[in-house]
Amino acid sequence: MIESLARLLALQDRDQKLRNLRLEMEELPNARAAQESQLAASAARLEASKSRLRAIEVERKTLQTEASAKRATIERYKAQQLQTRKNEEYSALAHEIAVGEKAVSDLEDRELELMEEAEALAPSLQAAESEYAADKVRIEKALRVLDAQGPNIEELIRDLEAARSEAAQGIDESLLATYERIFQNKAGSAIVLMENEVCFGCHMKVTSQTALEVRAEKHIVHCPSCGRILRLPD
Ligand SMILES: [Zn+2]
């Protein structure tokens, strides 16, 4: 392999590692946000279970208050009934008492329904609670790992940046600029293998002339299709 290509290849190795680390670094906030939104969704599921049970409790209290007010009214009618001597008034009160008793019974039925609903919801609340507890432990651990990754990646990047500039030394300036441009444009693959006269960057067959030039190893050869620098297998 010609020396300038060997140098470029060593540089590309560092550049690719750097590129991956920088991508990982960029992904960290997204990864963090994804974990946080999972935890929020789990908390929302728990909250939904709890809020239905709270609504049931509120409705039960209202029903109980209504029922005791009705019972008090019924008691009052009954007392009036004992005191009246008029048949008409007596039967009017008897009718009111019957209406009131029916209303109390309806309220009690509705309360019973609510109690049954609350009982049926209990297992799903319990499930949501334990699911949330497990999610919280798992996600908080994942967040701690992500938080620790940042400084580690930064340190690796600093080390690699030093190694990178070392590797860039001694490479012809214009060749270096060409390589850097291709590396940028081709998502981190500037130098690729040519095997069976096919460029491994774009998977196009190169011309026989290009293949000959690559095999001759006299100068840097670019793929005619994608412009990447071609090299032979080791
Ligand atoms: Zn190509």
* Length of the chain (residues): 234
pLDDT at 90: 96
Partner residues linked to 94 by β-bridges: none
170 CA to middle of ligand 1, Å?
26
25 CA to middle of ligand 1, Å?
29
26 CA to middle of ligand 1, Å?
29
204 CA to middle of ligand 1, Å?
6
**191-195 β-sheet, strand order:** 198-199, 191-195, 229-231
177 CA to middle of ligand 1, Å?
19
151 CB-contact burial (10 Å; exposed 0-12 / middle 13-18 / buried 19+): exposed
226 CA to middle of ligand 1, Å?
4
For the chain, residues with pLDDT lower than 50 are none
Instruction: Assign 213 to helix, strand or coil.
Output: helix
pLDDT at 204: 98
pLDDT at 35: 97
pLDDT at 115: 96
State how far the Cα of 186 lies from the Cα of 228, in Å rounded to an integer.
8
pLDDT at 1: 86
100 CA to middle of ligand 1, Å?
90
187 CA to middle of ligand 1, Å?
13
Spell out the domain ranges in the chain: 17-170, 172-234
Tell which CATH classification among 1.10.287.1490, 3.40.630.30, 3.30.360.10, 2.40.10.340 matches the domain 17-170: 1.10.287.1490
Question: Mind listing the pLDDT tens digit for each residue in 156-205?
Answer: 999 999 999 999 999 999 999 999 999 999 999 999 999 999 999 999 99
